[in-house]
Amino acid sequence: MRFFYARPMGTALVTGATSGIGLELAWQLAAANHHLVLVARTAERLESTARRIRAAAGVDVEVLPADLATADGREVVAARIRRDERAIGLLVNNAGFGLGQRFVGGDTAREEQALAVMVHSVLVLSKVAAESMVARRHGAILNVASVAAGTAMGTYAAHKAWVVRFTEGLAAELSGTRVTATALCPGLVRTEFHASAGVDPSVWPSIGWIDVERVATAGLRAVRRGQVVCVPTLRYGAIAAVLKVAPRALVRRVAGPGASARALL
Ligand SMILES: NC(=O)c1ccc[n+]([C@@H]2O[C@H](COP(=O)([O-])OP(=O)(O)OC[C@H]3O[C@@H](n4cnc5c(N)ncnc54)[C@H](OP(=O)(O)O)[C@@H]3O)[C@@H](O)[C@H]2O)c1
Tens digits of per-residue pLDDT, 214-249?
A: 999 999 999 999 999 999 999 999 999 999 999 999
Cα(205) to ligand 1 centroid in Å equals: 22
- Nearest-CA residue for atom 23 of ligand 1: 16
What is d(CA 201, CA 9) in angstroms, rounded to the nearest whole number? Answer: 36
Report the separation in Å between the CA atom of 247 and the middle of ligand 1, taken as the mean of its atom positions. 30
Tell me the one-letter amino acid at 88.
Answer: I
Q: What is the pLDDT of residues 71-96, one digit of tens each?
A: 999 999 999 999 999 999 999 999 99
The residue extents of the domains of the chain are: 11-264
Interaxial angle between packed helices 20-31 and 212-225, expressed in degrees from 0 to 180 and rounded to the nearest 10: 60
Task: Identify the active-site residue in 5, 27, 156, 193.
Answer: 156
- Judge whether residue 6 has pLDDT over 50: no
Percent of the chain with pLDDT over 90: 89
Q: Is the pLDDT of residue 193 over 50?
A: yes
Question: What's the mean pLDDT in 176-201?
Answer: 96
Q: Determine the Cα–Cα distance for residues 170 and 181; give it in Å rounded to an integer.
A: 6
pLDDT of 262 strictly over 80? no
**Could you tell me if the CB of 196 is within 6 A of ligand 1?**
yes
Reference 1, options 36, 37, 29; nearest CA is 29
Residues 65-90 as b/e (b if ≥16 CB within 10 A, e otherwise) read bbbbbeeebbeebbebbeeeeebbbb
pLDDT in tens, 60-74: 999 999 999 999 999
Structure confidence at residue 265 (pLDDT): 52
| pLDDT value, residue 203 | 86
pLDDT tens digits along 110-160: 999 999 999 999 999 999 999 999 999 999 999 999 999 999 999 999 999
Fold (topology level) of 11-264: Rossmann fold (3.40.50)
- Please give the Cα distance from 255 to 90 (Å, whole number): 33
Average pLDDT over residues 165-174: 98
* CA-based nearest residue to 27, from 62, 5, 63, 2: 2
Answer whether 150 contacts ligand 1 (Cβ < 6 A). no
Over range 12-22, report the average pLDDT: 98
